[in-house]
Amino acid sequence: MSATVATPRPTVLIVGAGLGGLVLGALLERCNIPYAIFERASTVKPLGSAMSLAGQMIYLFRQLGIDEKFVAMSKYSRFANGRRDDGTPLPPSDFIAMEEYGGSPSYIVARPLLYNLLLGLIPPKKIHFGKRILTITEEDDKVKIQAADSSVYEGDILVGADGAYSAVRQQLYNRLKKRGELPKSDQEDLPFSCTCLVGQTDPLDLEEYPELKNPKEPFVTTFARDIPFTWTIFSTKQNTLCFMVLEHLSKKTSKAAQEQRFRNTDNSEWGPHAAQAMCDETRDFSISFGGGKKTLGDIYDKTPKERIVKVMLEEKVFKTWYSGRTVLLGDACHKVNPSAGVGAITAMHDAIALANLIYALPANTTEEITKTFQEYHAERYPPAIEAYNNSLLMSKLLKGGITGAIASFVKNNMPNWLWRLAVKGLIMNRLQAGFLKHVEDKGTVPPNVSPSTEKARALYNKRMGVAAAV
């Protein structure tokens, strides 16, 4: 149990109930800092594909007491398996070094299951659905938000964890732009060079899909030669298949440009009709599951339509993450291609660092909050850039064509020592909450130092020492 935080405690308003927002809320819950989460959607929808998590998150899950539940719902993963669209297998990538360096196996988990696990850490009264935030104001050393239903909420800190097209970021940037304080690069649209179809089937017949019985090879990526698509199929502990179908565009574009183009043609690029169109376009693509005789269409047909969505894979790291009492987290300030599987992890790491620093906040003044946000940005901006660069490299590998062929050749002919060095970089950030009982890190390589964790740990130890003396 954590030590009680001395007053004054800030009240934190979190806009966005994604993975990052939930982790932040769960941590604030543990250190007795008042908070509320506001989500635009009216209900939780089981959307998304699957995720790969290892030592980057398992130690925090142990601190929160959910590690055993997480492992029970996940599937062990060591190899990244690939194939050509004609069924020819490709050399697998062995990630055993990640397990050794980080002290934990890698696990594949359906994203909706992980989401629900984290959601269970939030008391229902502290998360408000159907809250579309319209206005944000700062006055009298407070920040206020007003939702579309006219409800108003006041706090000391506002966290924008509301995704790539963050309403919090938009209003923050509008204020900064009027004052001439917004960098030019932050005024540009979010670019993307891929669109993606994701979903998850209902539980499948093990006789029809015998590969689901294999506990050690949970996912396979198919690389096409002559079409601009790559698709990954994940098997889960629940005997479902999750899919991620990437369409590689010929050039980068933006949501604004796409919407304008389709307005001019009275069509729509997004929504259920667009998802169905992409399903129709890709349903004959072969998959390695089902004895190698099945196609994407077979698993689309076993997936409820409401679970299939088409999304953009934006790629950008914003320079401006905070101003006044407002700060951004996760996709709201850095959106990376999911090819390297680090976007959600990076967002959850943001939440850990921010929770550590809010715990250690000495006062609720704008000056102290600004210093806290500066420390947060200094710690989290470099890993965000690293995640962005890693995702760009992986997206080149997945893209196919001459660029993908070169990237694939380099990877497959890389000396083992160099491969292990590359894998090492993926597992070095293993953050923990400094105000919760420390969990022994069993990795063979020490994790990167987290200044926010050390700061929170020092204060936690001091407070626990004072409590013990009393």
Q: Can you give the pLDDT at residue 251? A: 74
- CA–CA distance, 179 with 386 (Å, rounded to integer): 31
Q: Can you give the pLDDT at residue 262? A: 45
Q: Can you give the pLDDT at residue 416? A: 83
- CA–CA distance, 169 with 468 (Å, rounded to integer): 43
Q: Can you give the pLDDT at residue 403? A: 52
- 10-residue mean pLDDT series, the chain (470 residues): 60 97 98 97 86 92 97 93 91 91 94 96 97 94 96 98 95 97 94 90 96 86 90 95 91 61 40 85 96 95 94 91 97 81 89 98 96 98 90 67 54 75 88 97 95 97 75
Q: Can you give the pLDDT at residue 220? A: 93
**Structural contact between residues 200 and 306, judged by C-beta atoms closer than 8 angstroms:** no
- CA–CA distance, 315 with 338 (Å, rounded to integer): 9
* Cα 238 to the center of its chain, rounded Å: 22
- CA–CA distance, 442 with 302 (Å, rounded to integer): 41
Which residue type occupies 221? T
Residues in contact with 287: Cβ distance below 8 Å, sequence separation at least 6, in sequence order = 220, 222, 231, 233, 294, 295, 296, 298, 299
- CA–CA distance, 41 with 131 (Å, rounded to integer): 7
SS3 of the chain: the string is CCCCCCCCCCCEEEECCCHHHHHHHHHHHHCCCCEEEEECCCCCCCCCCEEEECHHHHHHHHHHCCHHHHHHCCEEECEEEEEECCCCEEEEEECHHHHHHHCCCEEEEEHHHHHHHHHCCCCHHHEEECCCEEEEEEECCEEEEEECCCCEEEECEEEECCCCCCHHHHHHHHHHHHCCCCCHHHHCCCEEEEEEEEEECCCCCCCCCHHHHCCCCCEEEEECCCCCEEEEEEECCCCCEEEEEEEEEEEEEEHHHHHHHHHHCCCCCCCHHHHHHHHHHHCCCECCCCCCCCEHHHHHCCCCHHHCEEEEEECEECCCCEECCEEECHHHCEECCHHHCCHHHHHHHHHHHHHHHHHCCCCCCHHHHHHHHHHHHHHHHHHHHHHHHHHHHHHHHHHCHHHHHHHHHHHHCCCHHHHHHHHHHHHCCCCCCCCCCCCCCCCCCCCCCCHHHHHHHHHHHHHHHHHHHC
Q: How far is CA 260 from CA 190, 197, 253, 278, in A?
A: 15, 22, 11, 20
Q: Can you give the pLDDT at residue 268? A: 38
- Residue found by looking up tokens 């970021």 in the block: 169
- Prediction pTM value: 0.92
- CA–CA distance, 427 with 267 (Å, rounded to integer): 44
Which residue type occupies 207? E
- CA–CA distance, 422 with 424 (Å, rounded to integer): 5
**For 48-97, how does the pLDDT look when each residue is reduced to its tens digit (9 = 90+)?**
899 999 889 999 999 999 999 999 999 999 998 999 999 999 888 899 99
Q: Can you give the pLDDT at residue 20? A: 97
Which residue type occupies 83? R
Neighbouring C-beta atoms of residue 470, cutoff 10 Å: 5
Q: Can you give the pLDDT at residue 412? A: 65
What fold does the segment set 12-45+111-188+316-469 form as a domain? FAD/NAD(P)-binding domain (3.50.50)
